[in-house]
Amino acid sequence: MVSKIKELRKEQNLPQQELARLVGVSRQTIYYLEKGKYNPSLTLSFKISEIFNKPIEEIFYFEPITKELLGNKTLNELSYAAKIIGIDVERIINLRKIDENQLSEMYSENELRKIVGAFGLEYKDLFLKDDE
């Protein structure tokens, strides 16, 4: 999960320490929230939402799983995979930006299987599990 806490904090010129005080947590908790290393409780999410006067879903969201899977690939690796699969490298690069619902709309299952296979992944890895 990622958050826009840092961005919202900076817009309001609100230091981490002050936000932490306002919502009743340590500054380190705010730091870890901003880094995506900590998932907040529902209570904390509501407090932060109230501070920034934004809906929770505008502050906290899941990045597309494709970004996690393909984000660390080099341009050479992406280009090589595109060549093997026979599709434009831009289509693979754009995979980093779309969520799992868009995958099915923009790519056939066969294309997705080829893409993930080129990276040594499995088709099921493109989709969040129900328990996540």
How does pLDDT run along the chain (132 residues), one tens digit per residue?
678 999 999 999 999 999 999 999 999 999 999 988 888 999 999 999 999 999 998 898 766 566 667 777 788 888 888 888 888 888 878 877 777 777 777 778 888 888 878 877 777 777 655 444
Torsion over CA: 43, 48, 50, 55 (sign): negative
Q: Does pTM top 0.85 for this prediction?
A: no
Tokens of 111: 């294309």
User: For residues 114 and 119, what is the distance between their CA atoms, to the nearest angstrom?
Assistant: 9
CATH number of the 2-61 domain: 1.10.260.40
- Give the orientation angle of helix 27-35 with respect to helix 16-23, to 10 degrees: 110
Torsion over CA: 76, 78, 84, 89 (sign): negative
Tokens of 59: 């502050």
Query: What integer pLDDT is reported at residue 131 of this predicted model?
Result: 42
Query: What integer pLDDT is reported at residue 56 of this predicted model?
Result: 92
CB 84 within 8 A of CB 90: no
- Give the orientation angle of helix 75-85 with respect to helix 109-118, to 10 degrees: 130
